[in-house]
């Protein structure tokens, strides 16, 4: 008889964005004429850039001939893409990596979930709170998180609150953890980490044998020259950090699917016998067993963003989204809301007024302005009292959503 993995039963029935979609759908059914604008889920809206489309057309021609056909590729990714990544994303920042340390994947979500397979099942994880839900949920599926309390906190997870009171800077944990997930620029708060703060984390990890899982899916949105793009800009990080990158938000690849994970050869974990073992060869072993590589087509498409045209084209799309972020920050602040993030990230994090819960604010704004945001509580206990807006809409829809929010807020104040 097969018994279910009961860890799944401890999870909320739905992933956060499925819950939101359900509520929006119910509202749409009740009010079919409502024109809803979503500033909720973080999917992009702008088309792939011409350099990427040209590469995809070229690869379709190539694959249509016998000599150009590509079947299974290397599990860790094609050398042409790994070399382009090394040359463009790391060497110019003085980061010392080699291509065996780069693993191409089908997007960062899979690997931020899968990476925990390298760590023992009793490892204690720490997360900044609020946080991208995948880190905690994927550990819960493996039974690593304990039991959930009424506030939605897992007993075996160390939560490091990040809120307006501490300027969104997580404190180092005061109890033992084995792994810490850091995400900068942060989803959902849109805040960033300084070099000095990140150095504190690397020093802490080295002193305490902690591994850092560093998610920099939004690094392309950093505008401040002082903010690190990669954890490997920080001295010592090669020994304790694994980094996740994604082309999804950098180049609109949410539907193409391609990203990469960096596992330096110096990152080790302890064995029960008292030794230590490098994680890089274990991940290669894992990938060769469970992953048949990202598609040749998506890897050629990703390569195109490193050409001079590709670089300029993706930069202009990022600037397009950041124009939305600027408008959201200035409009919402102008309305008197407390607003954070949005300067080096495509997310704006806003405190809900008058102690309104984040789900209540979500519903009030959906009904009152027909605009969707994401309730902060869906990202963890410390997200309560906040909502997230994304900058990934079109200029027109973002401006219209902000106009409606302004009108709705004025109406509330006048009534
Ligand atoms: N990491 C963070 C912090 C994200 O917000 C997302 C997507 O929203 C991902 C990873 C997943 O990206 P991908 O599309 O590469 O799977």
User: CB count, 10 Å around CB of 297?
Assistant: 18
Residue 77 near ligand 1, beta carbon < 6 Å:
no
**What is the per-residue pLDDT across 364-374, written as a single tens digit (0 to 9) for each?**
999 999 999 99
Residue 107 near ligand 1, beta carbon < 6 Å:
yes
pLDDT band (50, 70, 90) for residue 13: low
Ligand 1 site-directed mutation target among 132, 220, 243, most atoms within 8 Å of CB: 132
Find the 102 Cα to ligand 1 centroid distance in Å: 18
pLDDT at 412: 85
Q: Are 239 and 229 in contact (CB under 8 A)?
A: no
Ligand 1 site-directed mutation target among 114, 217, 321, 392, most atoms within 8 Å of CB: 217
Q: Are 63 and 43 in contact (CB under 8 A)?
A: no
**Does 230 show up as a binding residue in the annotation?**
no
Estimate to the nearest angstrom the gap between the alpha carbon of 298 and the chain centroid.
20
**Rounded-to-10 torsion of CA 113, 116, 117, 118:** 140
pLDDT band (50, 70, 90) for residue 16: confident
**What is the per-residue pLDDT across 371-415, written as a single tens digit (0 to 9) for each?**
999 999 999 999 999 999 999 999 999 999 999 999 999 988 887
Residue 132 near ligand 1, beta carbon < 6 Å:
yes
In sequence order, what are the beta bridge partners of 388?
349, 374
pLDDT at 151: 81
In sequence order, what are the beta bridge partners of 212?
180, 241
Question: Structure pTM?
Answer: 0.96
| Burial annotation 227-245 (CB, 10 A radius, 16+ → b, else e) | bbbbbbbbebbbebbbbbb
Residue 219 near ligand 1, beta carbon < 6 Å:
no
**What is the per-residue pLDDT across 346-361, written as a single tens digit (0 to 9) for each?**
999 999 998 899 999 9
Pair of tokens at residue 347: 């997310």
Q: Which domains does the chain possess?
A: 8-47+311-414 (3.90.1150.10), 52-308 (3.40.640.10)
Phi, psi of 370 (to 5 degrees): 55, 40
């Amino acid at each position: 008889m097969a018994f279910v993995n009961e860890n799944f039963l401890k999870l909320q029935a739905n992933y956060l964005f499925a819950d939101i979609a359900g509520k929006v759908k119910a509202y749409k059914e009740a009010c079919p004429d409502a024109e809803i604008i979503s500033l909720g889920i973080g999917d992009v809206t702008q088309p792939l850039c011409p350099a990427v489309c040209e590469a995809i057309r070229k690869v379709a021609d190539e694959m249509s001939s016998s000599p150009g056909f590509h079947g299974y590729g290397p599990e860790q990714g094609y050398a042409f893409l790994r070399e382009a990544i090394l040359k463009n994303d790391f060497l110019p920042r003085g980061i010392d990596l080699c291509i065996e340390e780069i693993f191409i994947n089908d997007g960062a979500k899979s690997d931020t979930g899968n990476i925990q397979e390298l760590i023992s099942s009793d490892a204690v994880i720490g997360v900044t709170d609020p946080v991208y839900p995948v880190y905690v949920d994927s550990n819960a599926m493996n039974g690593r998180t304990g039991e959930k309390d009424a506030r939605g906190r897992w007993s075996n997870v160390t939560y490091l609150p990040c809120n307006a009171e501490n300027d969104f800077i997580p404190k180092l944990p005061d109890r033992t953890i084995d792994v810490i997930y850091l995400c900068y620029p942060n989803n959902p708060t849109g805040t960033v980490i300084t070099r000095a703060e990140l150095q504190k984390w690397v020093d802490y990890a080295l002193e305490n044998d902690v591994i850092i899982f560093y998610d920099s899916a939004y690094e392309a949105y950093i505008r401040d020259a002082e903010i690190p793009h990669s954890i490997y800009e920080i001295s010592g990080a090669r020994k304790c950090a694994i980094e996740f990158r994604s082309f999804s938000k950098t180049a609109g690849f949410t539907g193409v699917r391609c990203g990469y994970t960096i596992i330096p050869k110096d990152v080790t974990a302890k064995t029960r016998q008292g030794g230590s073992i490098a994680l890089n060869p274990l991940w290669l072993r894992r990938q060769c067993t469970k992953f048949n590589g990202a598609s040749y087509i998506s890897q050629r498409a990703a390569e195109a963003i490193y050409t001079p045209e590709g670089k300029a084209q993706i930069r202009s799309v990022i600037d397009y989204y950041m124009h939305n972020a600027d408008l959201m920050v200035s409009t919402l602040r102008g309305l008197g809301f407390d607003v954070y993030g949005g300067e080096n990230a495509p997310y704006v994090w806003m405190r809900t007024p008058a102690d309104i819960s984040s789900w209540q604010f979500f519903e009030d704004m959906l009904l009152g302005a027909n605009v969707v945001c994401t309730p902060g509580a869906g990202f963890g206990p410390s997200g309560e009292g906040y909502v997230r807006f994304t900058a990934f809409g079109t200029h027109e829809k973002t401006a219209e959503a902000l106009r409606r929010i302004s009108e709705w807020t004025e109406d509330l104040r006048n009534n």
